[in-house]
Homo-oligomer: A and B are copies of this chain.
C-alpha cells in the first residue's frame, strides 16, 4: 500500500427528509446566504421555491447568483466573490450539480481574496481561506459535493483548470435522491459514465492496492447495477439513491487513497471538449473503452481480467486475454445500452484536429497517463480507433 493522508470533513445529509435540516445548518454559520444556481431547472422542479421558503421563513437573507454555466466560467466566480464582499455574505449555498458547486467553491474563496480568483486556478497563489460552503445536489456525477475540487473555465485564455484548497470542502451537502428524478436520460447517462470513469481512473493503477481495488469494484458494480434502472425509470428512488451516493464516494478520496490516478481519460477529454462543444461524459464514454483496448497487453492482462470478472461479471472461461477483451467489450455494450456514444462519429467529430488534440493532450511532458504512459502517437492512434 502506498503512503497517504485521508481527510474528508464534509457532513453529508442523505435522504428524502434532509432538506428540512437546511435552516439549522445555515444558521451555524450566519444569516446571510449567497444562493448560487444554474439555469431554470431548479425552478421547474420546484426546488428553488422550497429552498427560498425554508430560508426566508427562518429569517435568513438571500442574495442570488444564477446562470452558472455547465462549464462554470471564471466570470461567474468573480461576480459571486464581489457579491459576497458587497453583501457581507456568511455562507455560499450551491443548489445544483457539479458545475454550480465548483463555482461556489471559487466564489467562497474569492470572497476572502483581494486579487483576481483566476490566480487560484492558474496556480499563482494559494488561497488562505474561504467562506463556508453548503450544497444541495441535483445531479449524481462529479462528486464535487464531497470533495474540495473545483474546475473552472477561462474562455479568454482557453483554459479549463482544476483547483481546490483545504477551505473548499463543503461544510455540508444535502443529498436527496428525489432531486435527481427530473434529470433526463442523457444527463443521467453522463452521470453514470462520469462516476465510472472517476473510479476506473484509480482502479487502473500501477502498484495498485487490494483494498483500494475492492472498494473501486464495489462502487462500479453499484453504478452498473442501478444505472440502467434509473435510465428506464427516472423516479426509481433506490436506483437514484445508489447512483447518488455511489457518485459521491467515487471521488471523495476513497477510490484513490493508495492507488494513483491514471489521468488519460480526463486529460484527453478536457482537450476534446475544448475543441468540440461536446458534453464531458460523452467524451469520456468514447475514450474509455478505446483506451482500454489500446493499452491492454500481456503486462497488464491480469488487471483487465480482474476488471472483467469482478466488475462486469464476465465468465472465467478461456484465456486471460480473451476474458480481458470480453470485459472491455462489456464496457462498450454497457455505454451503448444507456445510450451513450462510443465513437467520435456519434458526436459528429471527424479526424481533422486529431493531430492537434494528441499534441495538446501530451503537452505537459512526453506522455499522458500513468497506468500506461502514452505518447502523442499513442493518443493519436486511440483517436483513430475511436473515429
CB-nearest residue of chain B to A12? B6
Chain A interface residue number, banded: 35 or more
Stretch at the interface among A67-75, A206-214, A294-302, A333-341: A206-214
Rounded to whole Å, the gap between the CB of A13 and the closest CB of chain B is 5
Q: A238: CB under 8 A from chain B?
A: yes
The residue from B5, B222, B257 contacting A11, defined by CB atoms under 8 A apart: B5
Q: Is the CB of B4 within 8 A of A14?
A: yes
A218 at interface by CB-CB < 8 Å: yes
Q: Quick check: is A242 within 8 A (CB to CB) of the other chain?
A: yes
Chain B CB within 8 A of A219 CB: yes
Given A218-B211, A219-B214, do A245 and B1 touch, yes or no (CB 8 Å)? Answer: yes
Distance in angstroms between the alpha carbons of A218 and B249 in the assembled complex:
14
The distance from the CB of A348 to the nearest CB of chain B, in whole angstroms, is: 36
Report A242 CB to chain B, min CB distance, Å: 5
A215 within 8 Å of B (CB atoms): yes
Q: Are B218 and A222 in contact (CB under 8 A)?
A: no
Q: Mark A12-23, 1 if CB is under 8 A from B, else 0.
A: 111111100000
Contacts of A249 in B (CB 8 A): 211, 215
From the candidates B4, B6, B7, B246, name the one contacting A211 in the complex (CB within 8 A).
Answer: B246
Confirm or deny: A285 has a beta carbon within 8 angstroms of a beta carbon on chain B: no
Task: Determine whether the beta carbon of A210 is less than 8 Å from that of B16.
Answer: no
Chain B residues positioned under 8 Å from A12 (CB to CB): 4-7
Q: Which of A144-169 contact B (CB under 8 A)?
A: none
Whether A102 sits at the interface, judged by CB under 8 Å, is: no
Q: Do A209 and B3 touch across chains, with their CB atoms under 8 A apart?
A: no
Q: Chain B residues near A4: list those with CB within 8 A.
A: 12, 14-15
Q: Identify the A interface with B (CB < 8 A).
A: 1-18, 177, 209-211, 214-215, 217-219, 221-222, 225-226, 237-238, 241-242, 245-246, 249, 254, 257
Besides the known contacts A1-B14, A3-B18, 15 further A-B residue pairs in the complex with CB atoms under 8 A apart: A1-B15, A1-B241, A2-B15, A3-B14, A4-B15, A6-B12, A6-B14, A7-B11, A7-B12, A210-B238, A211-B242, A211-B249, A214-B217, A214-B218, A215-B219
Question: What are 26 A-B pairs at a CB distance below 8 A?
Answer: A1-B237, A1-B241, A2-B15, A3-B14, A3-B16, A3-B17, A4-B12, A4-B14, A5-B18, A6-B11, A6-B12, A6-B14, A7-B10, A7-B11, A7-B12, A9-B9, A14-B257, A209-B242, A211-B218, A211-B222, A211-B245, A211-B249, A214-B218, A214-B221, A215-B219, A218-B218
